[in-house]
Structure 1
Amino acid sequence: MDKNLKNDLLIRAALSQPTERPPVWMMRQAGRFMKEYWEIKNKYSFLEMCKTPKIAADVTMLPIDLLGVDAAILFSDILVTAEAMGGDLSFEQGVGPRFANPIRTAQDVENLNVDCLDKLQYVADAIKVIQGRLDGKVPLIGFAGAPFTILSYLVEGGSSKDFKLTKTLLNNQPEMAHTILQKIADVTVDYLNMQIEAGVNALQLFDSWALALSWNDYQEFSHRYNKYILSKLNRKDVPVISFCKGSSVFAPIMADAQPDVVSVDWNADLLNIKKSLPAGMAVQGNLDPFVLYADKPVIKKKIIDLFERMRGENGFIFNLGHGIMPDIPFDNVKYAVEVIKDFKY
């Protein structure tokens, strides 16, 4: 463990060591619910923000300075690996990410470049700037998108409600799907190891769209590659968190990849999931983010109920079951963090 960390609650919880209270961070904690984020966003495109280390550091620091959370997470996007591999990526206001050259043919697959780490150097540079700014105050979490989720964007050409093109590929051309997934997995290993070398204190693998898959398809087209990635990381002293939408269903399979932490969506009872995992595997979650729209007494009650449910359990990181929505009141998020930090076991 990094001896320079002044607040190592997250690392201790991730390694299932005792903590005085649950550590707190939230997915999308540096984002559109903050006016300070928009003051930066209105000057630059989203990709400019990701690719300019100083700006990425400015955004990463916002929730540390304004909310007082127990960890920073690198400001970036899961799709930067897909772009580095040759995806023609853009972000459209109100639409989200778009790939102008979606994968349609064997030649498209052949064209995916796995030797592309140099194109992601800006991420390593950002990590160094952020760690200089954090100065050991809290840990920094790095991350990447999991292969299935990245494949879905590359095949659909953007976000999808039904994943029709992706599932048709998995069903009709599984060999092609496996070729794409292996390429993404190899890039992801290099990318996450680069982040470790640059100085992150923890990592999260985001499989945002795993819930689209059946149990068997999840094993074949998602878990297999997530397990491969986790087995290739230089993980000494760097805990790895595995997240997917669908973790309430897939947690038993996710555990087989041996992450340090399974991040759980809001559909499951967190203690039941924790007890179903191998001893010493931590959990993260799992407040429904929509609770943060509620009145403050409700927010407090839901958080305390979750904490009482988890009382006596080592290896618990507070988070949401998914990311903060852009129109959640900032004041409610700040209040939630205060409630959490006031709690003592």
Structure 2
Amino acid sequence: MKNNLFLDAAFSKSTERPPVWMMRQAGRFMPEYWEIKNKYSFLEMCKTPEIAADVTMLPVDLLGIDAAILFSDILVTGEAMGGDLSFTQGVGPKFSNPVQSMADVDKLDIDVLPKLQYVADAIKVVQQRLNGSIPLIGFAGAPFTVMSYLVEGGSSKDFKKTKLLIHNHPDIAHKLLGKIAAVTTDYLNMQIEAGVNALQIFDSWALSLAWNDYNEFSHRYIQQIISNLNRKDIPIISFCKGSSVFAPMMAEAKPDVISIDWNADLLNIKKILPSGIAVQGNLDPHVLYADKAVIKKTIIQLFERMRDEKGFIFNLGHGIMPDIPFDNVKYAVEVVKEFRY
């Protein structure tokens, strides 16, 4: 690997500066993304390896980041299991056959790797194009988050159906989560075999859960997945909205990196985590709307706070919003790359 910064930081080694990549870095804030998106549906983009590779490479070519992340979606596992998935502009993802009963759970398939082969194919195309320049991150949605979409039938503000399921029918919830966890483990191991250099698990909606519910319905399944990954030389990053609250429990699953949302002081979190677990984050993405002087000042403040720490990857506390100016994102990357400890 020509640029080892990301992998070194993920394994808590010293680096000359923090490596940088950003969640949703290959996305809607780029005009070049829309040139592709206007020709194909979102699922066509995900399922056509050459197109997925084109989108994956946009931030590599245009931003010069230190790690690429595969262009895909966390819900491809739910679709492969039997969810009828569609994406509508301005609405987001929809499953037209939401899971409502034990019978619905029983119908879901777990032997789904052939249906996800397009992801492995995309990884191989991307790695040919990267040619060892920077690492490629693969990913999957965490079981609770994927379950919430399958149960709600799409996005939700209050997760009412999901919470009713875990409270009134925990047996159904656990059977569903167990199936998703089995699929997710196989899926991530397939990505490792196809050639990714790191993996991130996204639990986008964990913050909707109370502490005990997070423990029972999310954490235990992430722990199960991580313990069954072929992770030799492959750092595992665990991210959730709510990581500023749940980080001590997340550490019990033994990821290599915990990605922290923007609600916490990153150094304080680092100091309460076991030695050898790196942190990733945690700039509030809204800062990228601000003037460039503000962007630089905020990033440098974070870096000065983390100055003597091994195991720090610069990222956002969540993903880039679609209307953030591209020039501001590019400037933020330049600020990071100019910094030296």
Q: TM-score, normalised by structure 1?
A: 0.99
Q: State the shift of 1:318 in Å.
A: 0.2
Aligned-partner Cα distance in 2 for 1:280–1:206: 21
Verify: 1:87 aligned to 2:58, yes or no.
Answer: no
Give the match for residue 48 of structure 1: 44
Structure 2 letter corresponding to 1:51: K
Structure 1 letter corresponding to 2:81: M
Q: Which residue of 248, 261, 268 corresponds with 1:265?
A: 261
Aligned-partner Cα distance in 2 for 1:122–1:340: 34
User: CA offsets per residue over residues 120-150 of structure 1, 9 Å max, x none?
Assistant: 0000000000000000110000000000000
The runs of at least 4 consecutive aligned structure 1 residues that moved more than 2 Å come to none
Q: Which residue of 221, 227, 239 corresponds with 1:225?
A: 221
Q: Which residue of 63, 77, 81 corresponds with 1:67?
A: 63
- SS of 1:250's equivalent? helix
1:151-190 aligned within 5 A: 151-190=147-186
Verify: 1:19 aligned to 2:21, yes or no.
Answer: no
Give the match for residue 119 of structure 1: 115
Give the match for residue 282 of structure 2: 286
> CA RMSD for the aligned pairs?
0.3
Q: State the shift of 1:106 in Å.
A: 1.5
Aligned residues between the structures: 341
Give the match for residue 129 of structure 2: 133
Q: State the shift of 1:219 in Å.
A: 0.1
- SS of 1:265's equivalent? coil
Give the match for residue 32 of structure 2: 36
Q: State the shift of 1:299 in Å.
A: 0.2
Q: Which residue of 72, 75, 79 corresponds with 1:76?
A: 72
- SS of 1:283's equivalent? strand
Aligned-partner Cα distance in 2 for 1:295–1:77: 31
The answer to whether the Cα contact below 8 Å between 2:21 and 2:315 also exists between their aligned partners in 1 is: yes
Verify: 1:315 aligned to 2:305, yes or no.
Answer: no
Aligned-partner Cα distance in 2 for 1:104–1:253: 29
Structure 1: gaps (5+ residues): none
Q: State the shift of 1:224 in Å.
A: 0.3
Structure 2 letter corresponding to 1:124: A
Q: Which residue of 293, 296, 300 corresponds with 1:300?
A: 296
Structure 1 letter corresponding to 2:116: L
Aligned-partner Cα distance in 2 for 1:105–1:339: 51
User: CA offsets per residue over residues 169-219 of structure 1, 9 Å max, x none?
Assistant: 000000100000000000000000000000000000000000000000000
Q: Which residue of 87, 103, 109 corresponds with 2:105?
A: 109
Aligned-partner Cα distance in 1 for 2:229–2:32: 35
The answer to whether the Cα contact below 8 Å between 2:101 and 2:172 also exists between their aligned partners in 1 is: no
Aligned-partner Cα distance in 1 for 2:125–2:204: 27
Structure 2: gaps (5+ residues): none
Give the match for residue 250 of structure 2: 254
The answer to whether the Cα contact below 8 Å between 2:243 and 2:259 also exists between their aligned partners in 1 is: yes
Verify: 1:332 aligned to 2:341, yes or no.
Answer: no
- SS of 1:84's equivalent? helix
Structure 2 letter corresponding to 1:221: F
Identity value in percent: 78
Q: State the shift of 1:104 in Å.
A: 1.1
Aligned-partner Cα distance in 2 for 1:116–1:280: 34
Aligned-partner Cα distance in 2 for 1:154–1:105: 12
- SS of 1:38's equivalent? helix
Aligned-partner Cα distance in 1 for 2:310–2:46: 35
Aligned-partner Cα distance in 1 for 2:242–2:109: 30
Structure 2 letter corresponding to 1:317: I
Q: State the shift of 1:105 in Å.
A: 1.6
The answer to whether the Cα contact below 8 Å between 2:238 and 2:259 also exists between their aligned partners in 1 is: yes
Aligned-partner Cα distance in 1 for 2:155–2:249: 25
